[in-house]
Structures are given as C-alpha cells and as structure tokens.
Amino acid sequence: MDRNVELLLSLFADDFIMVDGGELKRPTLEEQRTRFGAYFGAVRFQKWDDLVPPVIHVSADGTLATVIVQKEVVLVLADSAADAKPERAVFAWAETWAKRRGRWMLVAMASTRAEEPGS
C-alpha cells in the first residue's frame, strides 16, 4: 500500500460512482483527495492482505472489467502509542473498470465492511 493519493486518484474516472452504507455517492476529485489524504495521514497499516485471490472478469471486447476483492486490514492510528491495540476489519468490494482512450479507469465501486468480532 503506497499511500500515494495522486497516483490512486489518477485511476478514478470523472464520473466515478460509489455504493457504500446504503447510499450512492458521486464524490468529486477534490473530495476524494481530501478523504484519502486525511485517511492515509491518520493511520499506519500493519496489514493490507488479500484473504482470497481477487476475482477478475474482462468483457469479450476488452473494454469493461470487474474486480472482486476481499481484504483484511489491520491498522493503528498514526499518533497512537507504540503499544496501541490495532484495529482490524475485513473489507469486500466490487470494482467496475472501463477502458477509456486506451486506459483502464475505475468507474464504480460497491463496498462492504465487517468489523472484527467483538468490536
């Protein structure tokens, strides 16, 4: 996990849509920049691992793809003490990618999160 906000944002289509928390969201590039910048600055990742290999499907004409991922994420707050208890969550999401002007762009994502048992 490189935590490079600009590199990450370069993958998002202008018309990106997100399904999360029972809502459809169309965040602007600046909203995404603020969100990811704050998040990456606030946490230290201890783990960002696939629980199963990603499932990838590409359309027959090579212009559309779906990627389905399940990850375990373990982190601590960046300003926490060295002995702080890590937070753990499991995320699963589905991404839709479209090839535009010869480049793959992320056009949609639907995401779920399962908290660590007992959280």
pLDDT tens-place string over residues 60-105: 999 999 999 999 999 888 887 777 888 899 999 999 999 999 999 9
Beta strands at 87-100 and 55-58: parallel, antiparallel or unpaired: unpaired
pTM of the model: 0.82
Confirm if 104 and 63 have CB atoms less than 8 A apart: no
In angstroms, rounded to a whole number, what is the distance separating the alpha carbons of residues 7 and 16? 16
pLDDT tens-place string over residues 33-68: 999 988 888 888 889 999 999 999 999 999 999 999
The number of CA neighbours under 13 Å toward the Cβ of 91 is 18
CATH dotted code for 5-115? 3.10.450.50
In angstroms, rounded to a whole number, what is the distance separating the alpha carbons of residues 100 and 35? 25
Q: Where are the domains of the chain?
A: 5-115
